[in-house]
Amino acid sequence: MLLAGGWVLFARLSGLQKARFFSYITGAKGVRISQIIFGLAVLPVGLSHIFYTQITASLVPAWLPFRTGLAYLTGVGQMACGLAILFSIWPRMAALIETGMLGLFAFLVWGPDTWFATTPKMAGAPAGARFPLTAFLITWVIGASALLVAGNGAGKAGESLNLEHDSGAEADLAGSPIKASR
């Protein structure tokens, strides 16, 4: 998943679209490759929510109802997002949904309440803030990768995102115009 986010940045910002070798892995082709990588990477994560339901349900905050149901729902949701991104069925929407899920996971599962807890959330995890804070940051960075995939992919099947403007300016990743340096 992290590779996909990094690949989007490389494909969009490297300026190597005209280089013979890099033309196959940059530009719109490179972004599509990153979507495929991200879609494939999300599938086993969703499957792990299904196969390891007890562990997943134990990570859901106790104040939320239907913890086992939420474990299955998030697993199916992640697999649906992965397949949608992989097969370009509303890939931007699927990646945004995945971003939202990961953001919620980061705060609900690994959020600040676990950083100061006296007992670890997972059995066998060391006490203290290091493990949950690390898990929070990793989840957050994976969510950022999903956001990069969402913001730089196709909106609908076959529709590619065009970052070139008629005025000779390009859009950066946030969508604000910047001067072209070429």
Tell me the mean pLDDT in the region 2-15. Answer: 93
Q: Which residue has the higher pLDDT, 84 or 157?
A: 84
Beta-sheet pairing, 169-171 with 177-179: antiparallel
Tell me the mean pLDDT in the region 82-95. Answer: 95
Least confident of 27-31, 84-88, 103-107, 168-172: 168-172
Q: Which residue has the higher pLDDT, 72 or 162?
A: 72
**pLDDT level of residue 177 (50, 70, 90 thresholds):** very low
CB under 8 Å to 31, separation ≥6 — which residues? 7, 8, 11, 12, 152, 153, 161
Can you give the pLDDT at residue 129? Answer: 77
Where would I find the H helices in 66-169? 67-86, 91-110, 112-115, 130-151
- Total count of residues recorded for the chain: 182
* High-pLDDT (> 90) share of the chain, %: 58
Q: What is the pLDDT of residues 136-165, one digit of tens each?
A: 999 999 999 999 999 987 544 444 444 443
Q: Which residue has the higher pLDDT, 96 or 165?
A: 96
Per domain, the residue ranges of the chain are 2-160
Q: What is the pLDDT of residues 23-69, one digit of tens each?
A: 889 999 999 999 999 999 999 999 999 999 999 998 888 888 999 99
* The model's pTM: 0.78
Tell me the mean pLDDT in the region 91-108. Answer: 94
